[in-house]
Amino acid sequence: MKIYYIWDAYCGWCYGFGKVLKQFTSKYNDIEIEVLSGGLFNQGNSIGMYSHISEANKRISEIYDINFGKNYNELLSKGTHILDSYHPAIGYSIISKFVKNDKKISLANDLQKLFFIDGMSLSDIETYKKLAEKYNIDNNLFIEELEEKLKINAGYHEDYIKVAEFGARSYPTLILEKDGAYYDLRGNATTAEQIEYYYNKIVNGN
C-alpha cells in the first residue's frame, strides 16, 4: 500500500490538515508515503491579491485548532509577498531525499510552519537551511542545488504532472493505493480518527 499526499506548501488548508495527517501517519508509519506538490500559486501573484485568505484562516484555525503566527499575519497584512509554489515544490523534493519515509509528513508540516508561523519566505534559501538544521541534514550539495533552483520564478515541477494524472483539483487531497486501485483516503476528515476510519474501511472492505 502507498499513500499519496497532494498538497501545496502555501495552502492554508494543507497547513491545518497536515497536523492531523501527521498524527495518523505516526500510527501507520510502515506505509510508503509520497508527497506531491500541486502548484497552487504559480502565477507570480502577491499574497495581497487573494482577499479571501484572512477569512479562510479563521475557519482553518477553528476546524483544526491551529494558530497563524504574528510574523505571518504581518506578512499577510502587508500583502506584498509573492506566492510562487514552484519554490517550495522544488525545495521539499530536494530536502525530502535526506529524510526517511516516516518523516516525510513531518517535514512538510515543518516547512509550512516556517511560513504560517514564522513568516519566512518559501523562496528564500535561509528557510531551507533552517529546516535542514532541524533534521540534521549537513550537505553542501543540497544547498548548492537548491540555491540554483530558487533563482527560477514560477517554474514547472514534475509533481504537477502526477497531480494532474490523479485528477486532483483541490488541496489537500489524500489517496491510498491498494492492490493497484486508488481510493480517496481523506473524505471529509478533519481528525486523525476520521482518517483512520476511512483507512480501515478501505483496507478491510467494510
pLDDT score at 206: 62
Q: Is the dihedral of CA 65, 70, 71, 77 positive or negative?
A: positive
Torsion angle of the four alpha carbons 87, 88, 94, 99, in this order, in degrees rounded to the nearest 10: 170
- For 170, which DSSP code? S
pLDDT score at 151: 87
Name 46's bridge partners. 82
Pairwise CA distance, residues 47 & 77, whole Å = 9
The domain spanning residue 98 has which CATH number?
3.40.30.10
Pairwise CA distance, residues 30 & 13, whole Å = 26
Q: Tell me phi and psi for residue 48, to 5 degrees.
A: -65, -15
Read off the pLDDT of residues 11-40 as tens digits, 9 standing for 90 and up: 999 999 999 999 999 999 899 999 999 999
Give the number of domains in the chain: 1
pLDDT score at 169: 84
pLDDT score at 44: 82
Q: Tell me phi and psi for residue 88, to 5 degrees.
A: -70, -25
Please report which helix (H) or strand (E) contains residue 91, including its range.
helix 86-95
**Residues of the chain predicted below pLDDT 70:** 206
Pairwise CA distance, residues 47 & 37, whole Å = 19
186 closest CA partner among 206, 160, 168: 168
pLDDT score at 178: 95
In which domain, by residue range, is 138 found? Answer: 2-204
Residues sharing a CB contact under 8 Å with residue 204, sequence separation 6 or more, in sequence order: none
